[in-house]
Amino acid sequence: QSVLTQPPSVSAAPGQKVTISCSGTSSDIGNNYVSWYQQLPETAPKLLIYDNTQRPSAIPDRFSGSKSGTSATLGITGLQTGDEADYYCATWDSSLSVVVFGGGTKLSVL
């Protein structure tokens, strides 16, 4: 069982917008910054968002991140079939002094 809670799956049509939630506690998300990773089928994860809201230069602005309290959200606009992937949130747990991941969310673009 993962420390951070994500919905197992989300879906939306091409061109639409989707959000993926990541819920934690005051020990992890509540007092630390969140990063998000995209894992396309049969590939290694790739960094999408860091420091809650920041995008690496190669990541398009269709991807956005936000955080409020003990929850974080990944937003994807203008959905494309190539966005079908598993998405993971992650942060530091200050109480356990470990990195914690969410269980992952499978995005389907129907």
Q: Choose, by CB under 8 A, the member of 7, 12, 21, 45 that binds another protein.
A: 45
| Torsion 4-9-14-17 (CA) sign | negative
Q: Can you tell me the distance from the alpha carbon of 31 to that of 13, in angstroms, rounded to the nearest whole number?
A: 35
Kindly tell me which of 10 and 100 has the beta carbon lying closer to another protein: 100
* Cα–Cα nearest to 84, from 101, 54, 66, 105: 105
- Give the residue with the Cβ less far from another protein, 48 or 76: 48
26 binds another protein (CB under 8 A): no
Q: Which residues bind another protein (CB under 8 A)?
A: 2, 32-35, 37, 43-47, 50-52, 54, 56, 88, 90-92, 96-104
